[in-house]
Amino acid sequence: MNRELLLAIDIGTTNSKGALFTLDGEVAASASCRHQVSHPHPGWAEHDAVEVWWKEFCFLCRKLLDHENISAKDIISVGISSLTPAVLPVDRQGEPLRPAMLYSLDTRAAQEIRDINRTLGETYSLQENKRPISPKSTGPKILWIRNHEPEVFANTAYYMGAPTFLVHRLTGEVVADYGCYKLAGLPFSLKAFGWDHRACEACGVRMEQLPKLRFATELAGTVTEEAARHTGLAPGTPVAVGTGDFLAETLSYGTDFLGLPQISYGTCVGVDNGNDHASILFPDYVPNVNQKTVPGGSMSNGCGNIDWMISMLSGMEPGKRLDSELLAHFAQTVPAGSNGLVMLPYFNGEKTPFDDPEAKGLLFGLRMSHTQADLYKAALEGTAYAIRHVLDMKPGGHDRRQAVVMGGGINIPGLLQTVSDVTGYRQTTLESYNGSLVGDAFIAGMACGVFQERSEINAWVKTSRTIEPSDGVKEVYDRGYQMYLDLYQAVSGLMHRPCL
């Protein structure tokens, strides 16, 4: 059977997924696989770019092509998204010189953040990008390599993120999209809409070591003969520049939901208070550093905390994991407030709504009477309180207490209901919760000329279900939320003190 298909692949923090889409947005085949984040030292978070990013990309390609009646010649374009930003130094051949350092999960460069702020001034990043330097920024990590791994620094030809690395493996081109680096900040400057000379000097990077910046929906190149042998794709297949998973997912909401809060339930939860971040994926984007935006953004934590709690509750036996039915029972039977337990979910520090890479997780109120069920419910509520904290950043609140939501975390038993109960927001899920793949496929279609207008994606967007806040729990959760806020204020000073 000969047909036109769009290949979408997303390499995430703990899992990779791929799908083939028809031109009307239907999924023809899908596949996924899981991997781990390496934490070789406290505060470090790394991926082996070849073993995780490239080999899983190749695995997913071949898995999708194994489906009956699907041929490599059916694939007319490739779209890629991934965790972002990451910092991967590579040599002239594009071979990694060390593992990649992952966005704000990796907090090792705290001193380098202070050094850059001292060199450029505390307000420089705000002037250039409307955001402070944070642990997710690429600049401090590059400076960390210069300070701590001089041999790697001396041999680095390029600094790549995950989409750049994968596109380079496929096409030989060293390109990245504006969107990934707008989110990362320095050495990118929104004001200059490109790499910033002063920031590059402060971070210890030459501009020629950074990717050429393009829009995500533009064509990066085509699949080479060598890449075709690894992936099974046809040589000459168009490849889009691609983007970060958050932006691809934001695109997948379409334009009909613009202005509503959007919650992305991933390893790190993103809460967008109604900004149109996906506009930077398209060549008609007009940069404006003075444009007003509503505060919001990605948290350093989220569903990864709940996954950790499930693992802890499941015991030490390898492969053992509490089943979804039992977890749903925990969520439904434990009363609001988790019988006095409150969890601060800052297991990897925090960046939204406050910037504190040294913040730490906390379970407060433990008694001998608490059970596995109480602990699980406290993990759900801690994540929900954090989401409410970001939603509350919008001055004056939201006129409509309604949000559109997506991401693999929507399938965590009890999570969406808990978030609606804690926030008071009605949440609408979309039919395809793998929004990053939807966005990737549409980006692929734009790159090869199948689609011309962003609004064409609206035909792909279908709502699935709506979660309403429960009756009778608002007062309990208002008190719990206040306790949550007070706890951080009470112990934040201790969090910054060495434990030993």
Least confident of 81-90, 320-329, 349-358, 455-464: 349-358
CB 21 within 8 A of CB 27: yes
Q: Which residues pair with 297 in a beta bridge?
A: 271
The string over 150-183, giving b where at least 16 C-beta atoms fall within 10 Å of a residue's C-beta and e elsewhere, is: eeebeebbbbbbbbbbbbbbbbebbbbbbbbbbb
Which superfamily does 5-247 belong to?
ATPase, nucleotide binding domain (3.30.420.40)
Count other C-beta atoms under 10 Å from residue 400's C-beta: 10
* H or E element, residue 283: none
CB neighbours of 122 closer than 8 A, spacing ≥ 6? Answer: none
Does residue 222 surpass a pLDDT of 60? yes
Residue 453 to residue 79: CA distance in whole angstroms: 17
CB 247 within 8 A of CB 179: yes
Share of the chain above pLDDT 70, in %: 97
Residue 369 to residue 374: CA distance in whole angstroms: 9
Whether the ω angle into residue 187 lies within 30 degrees of 0, i.e. cis, is: yes
| 426-430 and 402-406 strand pairing | parallel
Does residue 297 surpass a pLDDT of 80? no
pLDDT digits (tens, 9 = 90+) for 307-343: 999 999 998 777 789 999 999 999 999 999 999 999 9
pLDDT digits (tens, 9 = 90+) for 259-291: 888 898 988 898 887 778 899 999 999 887 666
Least confident of 24-38, 215-229, 294-308: 294-308
* Global pTM exceeds 0.85: no
Does residue 1 surpass a pLDDT of 60? no
Mean pLDDT value across the chain: 93
